[in-house]
Amino acid sequence: MADPTKYPAIDPGYLRHPADVAVLAAGLRMVDKVANSPHLKDKFAKRLFPAPEVDLQDIEQSRAAVR
């Protein structure tokens, strides 16, 4: 029998499905492209995470950054 005084165990399952990683990696790629556009590049400080050496236009590196 369930105990109504106990908090439920909730597991949202973040990044368990490959589509979760793919969508977030695509979002990182898009934001990186926008941030590096000629119109905005000088408006941002350097990127802290993922490290500036990570090439977010490379899909595998952007997926690794999401994970």
Give the tens place of pLDDT for each residue, 13-67.
999 999 999 999 999 999 999 999 999 989 988 888 999 999 999 999 999 999 9
The pLDDT of residue 1 is above 80: no
| Residue 4 covered by a domain | no
Query: What is the domain count for the chain?
Result: 1
In residues, how long is the chain? 67
Q: Angle at the Cα of 45 (from 43 to 51), degrees rounded to 5?
A: 135
| Residue 12 covered by a domain | no
CA dist., res. 34 & res. 26, Å (int)? 12
| Residue 18 covered by a domain | no
Q: Which residue range is the domain that position 47 belongs to?
A: 25-66
pLDDT at res. 46: 85
Q: Are 60 and 66 in contact (CB under 8 A)?
A: no
Q: Are 25 and 65 in contact (CB under 8 A)?
A: yes
pTM listed for this prediction: 0.75
